[in-house]
Amino acid sequence: MTVPRLTTALSGPLSALERQLIARATDIEQWLRAQWQDHAPPFYGSVDLRNSGFKLAPVDTNLFPGGFNNLNPEFHALCVQAAMAAVENICPDARGALLIPENHTRNQFYLQNVATLARILRHAGMHVRIGSLLPGLNAPMEVDLPNGKKLKLEPLLRKGNRLMVEGFDPCVVLLNNDLSSGIPDILRGLEQAMLPPLHAGWAVRRKSHHFEAYREVAEDFAKVHGLDPWLINPYFEMCGKINFQDRQGEECLAGYVSEILSDIRVKYQEYGIKEEPFVIVKADAGTYGMGIMTVKDASEVRGLNRKQRNKMAVVKEGLQVHEVLVQEGVHTFETVRDAAAEPVVYMIDRYVVGGFYRVHTERGKDQNLNAPGMQFEPLAFADPCSSPDPDAPDCPPNRFYAYGVVARLALLAAAIELERTESLLEEAPAVQRSVAAS
Amino acid sequence: MTVPRLTTALSGPLSALERQLIARATDIEQWLRAQWQDHAPPFYGSVDLRNSGFKLAPVDTNLFPGGFNNLNPEFHALCVQAAMAAVENICPDARGALLIPENHTRNQFYLQNVATLARILRHAGMHVRIGSLLPGLNAPMEVDLPNGKKLKLEPLLRKGNRLMVEGFDPCVVLLNNDLSSGIPDILRGLEQAMLPPLHAGWAVRRKSHHFEAYREVAEDFAKVHGLDPWLINPYFEMCGKINFQDRQGEECLAGYVSEILSDIRVKYQEYGIKEEPFVIVKADAGTYGMGIMTVKDASEVRGLNRKQRNKMAVVKEGLQVHEVLVQEGVHTFETVRDAAAEPVVYMIDRYVVGGFYRVHTERGKDQNLNAPGMQFEPLAFADPCSSPDPDAPDCPPNRFYAYGVVARLALLAAAIELERTESLLEEAPAVQRSVAAS
């Protein structure tokens, strides 16, 4: 194992919460199994966690995970096995999968992720071709990978209600594109299975829907397993009808910021926590950590200057921000060589298949670590999160187990979220590239 | 990874057969997936393989595998994930499993296997207790494990049609006892799920049924993937009505030995193989490598001396041998420090979860390596058999992949065998300990 030891994660004592999760591991697995009987897991997902020692919570659930290349290569077999189970559950007869990635042709890390995903699917028994939404792509294009291999991107073809690439008519379309810029017509109304479904893209998805479902999941889970749900669930509220440029909705924002900060203070007092509460203000739709602020006082969201307003107004692909999530901030107490580290857990179907730490040397423990242009250092987990050992409370697999539990609660919330939001697809915008107002 | 490099397995060039399997990996996975749609895999199994370079074949398929402790600990997560999938497929609501081991209380290796199995099941979300068939066990008994821990064996209780131990009414009974001595009444007619089913035990099971099913599977597989089925399938015939002590059936045996030797010679000539053909004569029921002979000429099975006849007449638990399998011998060309090495592949549900080499320094490449009292050295696989890399033909995962394919063909044969032999359960003997005639 070539993964270095992590200062907190691998040597710090376990928190009370982690100990509780480990002691109840068998019952937790049963509870999760019962949940998956009622809710179909998304094909895959990754969950950003924050671990403050006293609290372990998801802060973002990604249904188009882009970091399979960052997982420990020794867990590849685990990914393959989980993908086999997923294919068996969803479409056992599937032979061909068309993988649709993001339109990044120069982001070597992302391209390596696409190559890794394709490899997992091939080993799971799927023929894989990569169909690209790149505008103007008329012929296959080969892009170089950091490992010297090449990745072939092919133009999408539509025949009736089937999506294909030249000479390849797949049974399944696997999206690794979060549809931030809307839903392209070529993807609508396909007769093939689409995984995850179109409404999992940011054209339809809202973080508030996710965290509403997560709140219910966390409360159910906490009740059954005798926990305070707050230990795994960050407070949040949503402000609609925001317009940062016009200063619309500032009062709603300030109101919720102050309400949540005061709710956190009550909890910190209850648990004797000395840290300073903070909230995160972020776009309700969208990804990549654009439009995110760390706020410690309501006054900070009143009277934003032009630069701050512009930063908050637009996320990936020029998508305008009109709905904003105000979420309890969770300090990250995990560090690697004095830098803040945020665990990211990867899942395929209902199975945890690994994860990594997002490590950023220039950010504090109360800041978002997934920021634009961020050069995070991925640090693969040394353990695949499934082997808690109650007889050795401080051994590294135990912390990873706790991560895996909370990440799967978020995945379950995503499953419920997707059930509830299917009907929103019809109202979803087509591809649009709004230009950010200046 | 602490596993030493294996002389042949990890550094020798791949054979033509292995190359073919790797090149077709994606199609092979699809073919297997389709087979598992029609045939439910046994809960678990292990397959002894022999690899002669030109030929890779199963020589024994164990439905009560006893070496989970020999797997690479780094594959534990793979075992847990496969067990989760198995439970989900077979009995998603199961919460408690009663594990019934062999009656070995002093075999530390075996007890460690039971402890490992229990750990896998617990991590997969099952409460596990160990119920023992030990005669005269009236109270729980703790046995020491090599790692300093203890294993608690509890007396079985039967209430109506349910099997339990004190204070524990399981949903599932998991057999890790091969029922060589017959089927105890306490296990018959249970309303709980029994995995694997009773007729998978040696009271009912016959190797010839297994290899009949395997022959069909191998022929189907070979046809689809363009192979000569002989490359993965050893010739065999079965002689019934044998009585070694009375010299009954000797002619049947000699006839088949000579027939199979001559069939092998034809194939060796076709492929230009210079090795000397041999056959293995072994009991059609039973395990542990008792009652096994290596034979290079029909004359060797005529006029056995008293010692040889006694050795062949009885297998484990005093079970009398009346049916004998004559099977093409496959040379093992894999060696570790000049000792013959036989790969053993472990599976849970349809998934390969690891394996090890059975290494015996005192045996030749044409002898059975699973002999009574044998102190084999288990050498865990460094790779979990699921990551073939066609671009790097001689890399170690490729050989492991070939193992995993052939082992799964044998598992599929076991699934078909169990479908066909269910009706034989009614005729199966109750527990009997026949005393070997001297």
- CA-nearest residue of chain B to A128? B26
Cβ atoms of residues A263 and A234 within 8 Å: no
Look at phi and psi of residue A214 and say left if phi exceeds 0, alpha if psi is from -120 to 50, else beta.
alpha
The shortest C-alpha distance from B37 to chain A (Å) reads 8
pLDDT for the residue numbered A317? 61
User: Which two structure tokens, joined as six digits, stand for A307?
Assistant: 């630069």
Helices (H), A188-236: 207-225
Which residues of chain A have a CB within 8 Å of the CB of B72?
Answer: none
- Render B273-328 in DSSP notation, one character per residue: --SPP-EEEEESS--TT-SEEEESSGGGGSS--HHHHHHHHB-GGG-B---EEEEE
The shortest C-alpha distance from B267 to chain A (Å) reads 32
pLDDT band at A308 (very low <50, low <70, confident <90, very high): confident
CA distance A50 to A341: 9
Cβ atoms of residues B250 and B302 within 8 Å: yes
Cβ atoms of residues A30 and B128 within 8 Å: no
pLDDT band at A175 (very low <50, low <70, confident <90, very high): very high
Please state at what angle helix B25-38 crosses helix A108-123, rounded to 10 degrees. Answer: 50
> Which residue carries 């997902």 as its tokens?
A45
CA distance B73 to A197: 37
CA distance A296 to A278: 5
CA distance B271 to A62: 54
User: Which two structure tokens, joined as six digits, stand for B201?
Assistant: 């035990």
State whether residue A75 sits within 8 Å of chain B by CB. Answer: yes
Rg of chain B, C-alpha, whole Å: 21
Give whole-number Cα distances, A170 to A104, A128, A191, in Å: 23, 8, 11
**Does the pLDDT of residue A6 top 50, yes or no?**
no
- CA-nearest residue of chain B to A384? B77
Interface test with A, best of B21, B84, B95, B346 (most A CBs within 10 A): B84
CA distance B375 to A423: 64
The shortest C-alpha distance from B220 to chain A (Å) reads 18
> Which residue carries 């950590």 as its tokens?
A289
**Does the pLDDT of residue A389 top 80, yes or no?**
no
**Are A126 and B34 inside 8 Å of each other by CB?**
no
Tell me which residue in A29, A93, A127 faces B124 most closely, judged by beta carbons: A29
Give whole-number Cα distances, B121 to A36, B107, B196, in Å: 18, 21, 15
State whether residue B172 sits within 8 Å of chain A by CB. Answer: no
| Burial (CB count <10 Å: 0-12, 13-18, 19+), residue B366 | buried
User: Which two structure tokens, joined as six digits, stand for A389?
Assistant: 């050992």
Tell me which residue in B26, B30, B82 faces A81 most closely, judged by beta carbons: B82
CA distance B300 to B305: 10
pLDDT for the residue numbered A304? 78
pLDDT for the residue numbered B371? 53
Nearest residue to B356 via CA among B281, B411, B407: B407
> Which residue carries 């990044």 as its tokens?
A104
- B194-223 burial, b for 16+ CB within 10 Å, e for fewer? bbbbbbbbbbbbbbbbbbbbbbebbeebbe
Residue B335 makes CB contacts below 8 A (sequence gap 6+) with B6, B7, B8, B341, B365
Distance of CA B226 to the CA centre of its chain: 27
Cβ atoms of residues B290 and B337 within 8 Å: no
Of the listed ranges A99-108, A145-154, A259-268, A303-312, the one predicted with least confidence: A303-312
State whether residue B103 sits within 8 Å of chain A by CB. Answer: no
Q: Which H or E run contains A308?
A: helix A306-313
Rg of chain A, C-alpha, whole Å: 21
CA distance B341 to A394: 38
CB atoms near residue B435 (< 10 Å): 8
CB atoms near residue B394 (< 10 Å): 14
Cβ atoms of residues A20 and B117 within 8 Å: no
User: Which two structure tokens, joined as six digits, stand for B164?
Assistant: 């339990």
> Which residue carries 């025949």 as its tokens?
A159
**Are A26 and B84 inside 8 Å of each other by CB?**
no
pLDDT for the residue numbered B5? 32
CA distance A24 to A34: 15
What would the pLDDT profile of A197-250 be if each residue is shown by its tens digit?
A: 999 999 899 999 999 999 999 999 999 999 999 999 999 999 888 887 777 888
**Does the pLDDT of residue A438 top 70, yes or no?**
no
3 state DSSP class of A104? coil
What would the pLDDT profile of A79-112 be if each residue is shown by its tens digit?
A: 999 999 998 887 788 789 999 999 988 888 899 9
Upper half-sphere CA count for residue B231 (Cβ side, 13 Å):
21
Q: Which one is predicted more confidently, A374 or B22?
A: B22
User: Which two structure tokens, joined as six digits, stand for A175?
Assistant: 């999206």
- Render B121-153 in DSSP notation, one character per residue: HHHTT-EEEEEE--TT--S-EEEE-TTS-EEEE
The shortest C-alpha distance from B85 to chain A (Å) reads 7
Cβ atoms of residues A92 and A75 within 8 Å: no
pLDDT for the residue numbered A10? 39
Can you point out the beta strands (E) in B156-235?
Answer: 157-159, 162-164, 172-176, 193-195
The shortest C-alpha distance from B265 to chain A (Å) reads 37
| Burial (CB count <10 Å: 0-12, 13-18, 19+), residue A78 | buried
* Paired residues of A320 in beta bridges: A314
State whether residue B194 sits within 8 Å of chain A by CB. Answer: no
pLDDT for the residue numbered A413? 98
> Which residue carries 């997982």 as its tokens?
A71
The shortest C-alpha distance from B64 to chain A (Å) reads 22
* pLDDT averaged over every residue in chain A: 85
Nearest residue to A35 via CA among B172, B77, B193, B125: B125
Give whole-number Cα distances, A160 to A128, A136, A169, A194, A406, in Å: 21, 21, 12, 16, 42
Tell me which residue in B88, B383, B387 faces A123 most closely, judged by beta carbons: B387
State whether residue B225 sits within 8 Å of chain A by CB. Answer: no
How do B172-176 and B96-101 pair as beta strands?
parallel
Q: How many CB pairs under 8 A join A and B?
A: 104
Which residues of chain A have a CB within 8 Å of the CB of B99?
Answer: none
Contacts 24+ apart (CB under 8 A), B12-19: B12/B53, B13/B393, B13/B394, B14/B393, B14/B394, B14/B398, B14/B399, B14/B402, B15/B53, B15/B54, B15/B56, B16/B54, B17/B54, B17/B55, B17/B56, B17/B227, B17/B231, B17/B232, B17/B402, B18/B56, B18/B398, B18/B399, B18/B402, B19/B393
What are the percentages of helix, strand and coil residues in chain B, rounded to 5? 35, 25, 40
**Are B123 and A25 inside 8 Å of each other by CB?**
yes
CB atoms near residue B174 (< 10 Å): 26
Average pLDDT per consecutive 10 residues, chain B (438 residues; last block may be shorter): 33 72 92 95 96 91 95 87 89 88 90 95 94 95 91 97 96 94 93 95 93 98 95 94 81 93 96 92 74 87 79 68 90 74 91 86 59 57 62 64 94 98 82 40
